Amino acid sequence: MSTEPPVVLITGATGPLGRAAAARFAADGARVALVGRDRARLEAQAAETGLAPDAWMAVEADASNPSAVPAMVDAVVARFGRIDVLLHLLGGYVGGTPVADVDPDELRTMIDRHLWSTFHVVRAVLPGMVERGFGRIIGVSSTFATTPPAGLSSYAVAKAAEEVLLRTIARETAGTGVTANVVVVRTIDTDHVRETAPTPKNASWATPEEITDALVYLASPASAAVTGVRLPLDGR
């Protein structure tokens, strides 16, 4: 790994988890590339977080659009020279409909959002990581991928597929210095209600800061022996 500050590409950067991750990685000295579909939101986020101008960049792109991904990655490499860490944090959730009544477009949307976006972004960043002998690819999934409840088939199927893809990449990159892992959460507790109004229902929720702690470890050189792992953060 380079002795220079790491370069972290964050998709879904304007979501609650993306914001927390960007702030934490930047505070730890990383250079961060924030990907989102609204440049104004990215710039406002950077201003609110106090990111140094030379330590971040905004990339206005839809990471689920395959035609946009190569240019997105090229822009980051042109600015920072490489990508060390991919935090693929795209959100997107639908549910409430039994399988027999699901509109096929709903399933396609979820698969595009979670599986295909992961596929396209990983394929764009992976060759450079392997060539340099260091890379960290991290996705965030849901407990529903392995224990799907009724009515959430589209989301659960898409997340399960994303997990399988990332864990396959872990096997294919073994010994290269590149790792791929999945952090699994039940609900992202953006408002910290687990602390302010605890109930048995929200006891297993994880805050953005807790999830980011896990991302920081999995992105670090210290996690070199950890790959292909589903790290659950719902154990309370």
Tell me the pLDDT tens digit for each residue of 91-108: 888 888 999 999 999 999
pTM: 0.95
User: Cβ of 78: how many Cβ atoms within 10 Å?
Assistant: 9
pLDDT for the residue numbered 3: 72
CATH superfamily, domain at 7-232: NAD(P)-binding Rossmann-like Domain (3.40.50.720)
Query: Shortest CA distance to 50 belongs to which of 24, 69, 15, 75?
Result: 24
Residue with tokens 């209600």: 193
Interior/surface letters 153-185, b for 16+ CB within 10 angstroms, e for the rest: bbbbbbbbbbbebbbebbeebeebebbbbbbbb
φ/ψ of 2, rounded to 5, equals -65, 150
Express each pLDDT in 128-175 by its tens digit: 999 999 999 999 999 999 999 999 999 999 999 999 999 999 999 999
Q: How many CB atoms lie within 10 A of CB 109?
A: 17
| Residue 236 confidence class, pLDDT cut points 50, 70, 90 | low
How high is the pLDDT of residue 93?
A: 84
Computed over every residue of the chain, the mean pLDDT equals 94
CB 228 within 8 A of CB 181: yes
Query: Domain residues of the chain, as ranges?
Result: 7-232
Share of the chain above pLDDT 90, in %: 89
Mean pLDDT, rounded, for 36-54? 92
- Rounded CA-CA distance 148/171 in Å is 25
